[in-house]
Amino acid sequence: MRAEWRRSNVLSHIDRWYDEVWVFGDPALFDVREEYDLPRHIGDRVRYVGYLTPKVPREAVADARAELETLAPGGAGSGPIALVTVGGGEDGESLIARWIGAARAGLLPKDLRSVVVTGPMMPEEAQLRIGAAAPASVTVTRYIGGLEAYAAAADLVVGMAGYNTSCEVLGARTPAVLVPRASQREEQRMRAVRLASVA
């Protein structure tokens, strides 16, 4: 990030145009002043506002649980439900394929039911492969609106370690397994490592 900011001259722009820099996060987990080696005159402008964890009304969680019970195989009350989500889905096929492989191999708890959300940006051919491979204990759907309520209603969330998913599970306090993407930036891996260190 430091190199990218140097190339884009970000610190000069911050210095010229911004009185304060608001950071969505917690300096105990990731202090941008230290991590990005900010000069003191810019670091003094940094204000931490915490994580944006959604506040989900109890009624919305109850409605989401009822919908999960409808979506999950086996009918209401027949076992815990895992919600597997990969954000938009453009790079989530590998995670979902591994989850489905574990379900097919009997590596997951016997009564665990899964609702897998592929995401609206997952390529259609990938969605078809996932749907065809899913065993009876797994329901595959492309999209669920208001995912934060479903994260709060599930018994377990399995997802990537993106900012939104991480904040949703922190806010919901639902047990979660967060798997950072292995490609592109290091941001998800760093977030997962930092969250694991305080868990």
Lowest mean pLDDT among 118-127, 170-179, 181-190: 181-190
Res. 137: pLDDT tops 90: yes
Q: Can you give the residue range of the structural domain that contains 62?
A: 58-198
Going by pLDDT thresholds of 50, 70 and 90, the confidence category of residue 1 is: confident
105 with 23, same domain: the answer is: no
162 with 181, same domain: the answer is: yes
What CATH number should be reported for the domain holding residue 88?
3.40.50.2000
The torsion angle over the Cα atoms of residues 173, 176, 179 and 185, rounded to 10 degrees, is 0
In a domain, 23, yes or no: yes
20 with 108, same domain: the answer is: no
63 with 42, same domain: the answer is: no
Residue 46 contacts residue 21 (beta carbons within 8 Å): yes
41 with 82, same domain: the answer is: no
Q: What pLDDT is recorded for position 184? A: 64
What is the pTM for the complete model shown? Answer: 0.83
Number of domains present in the structure of the chain:
2
Chain segment 54-78, per-residue pLDDT in tens: 889 999 999 999 999 999 988 777 8
Average pLDDT of the chain, as a whole number: 92
Tell me the average pLDDT across 26-48: 94
Report helix, strand or coil for 58: helix
Contacts of 54 (CB under 8 A, 6+ apart): 148, 167, 168, 171
157 with 175, same domain: the answer is: yes
d(CA 104, CA 4): 43
